[in-house]
Amino acid sequence: MKPVIRIGKKEDLARLRELIVELAIYEKEPDAVEVTLAELENDGFGPDKIFDFFVAEIGGIVQGIALYYFKYSTWKGKCIFLEDIVVNEHMRGNGMGKLLFDEVVKVAATHNCKRMEWQVLEWNEPAINFYTKKYQAELDPEWLNGRLTGQELKKLASELDSCH
């Protein structure tokens, strides 16, 4: 059966979270998922919505997702960031990831984005091959990813408040 690709709905959030957990397990971080269904609902459908997502369904069951959001580059302008494509493990290799990726490409083009970005772990050969062979995508070896966790942000903010 050919997957049906559509925009994600509130009713898809539980399945979205399940696939996020599946991705965390695949990426060897099974306990790293902190986001709750309530946060997904607020952040995807609330008044200050910050992400959108597509789902890939087969037989009415969501088997894959692509979650993305808009960002801004001081050099380029409006860009889109593909946070994750996740395809259920037993459905991988049938073109579903490509269909999801292509939908995000269409959104980026429709919104006149100057760039589409995503990350891939250096050991994830299937994903690297997907991006570089199917799309001739450039993987940038120069940029390092910076990150502060929520706990670190709270600690730093507290320290900054006590200094002022």
Q: What are phi and psi of 38, to 5 degrees?
A: -60, -40
136, 130 in Cβ contact below 8 A? no
By residue count, the chain amounts to 164
Sorted by sequence, the CB contacts under 8 Å of residue 134 that are 6+ apart come out as 98
The Cα 87–Cα 94 span in angstroms is 10
**Distance between CA atoms of residues 21 and 34, nearest Å:** 10
The catalytic residue positions are 131
User: How far, in Å, CA of 62 to CA of 89, rounded?
Assistant: 12
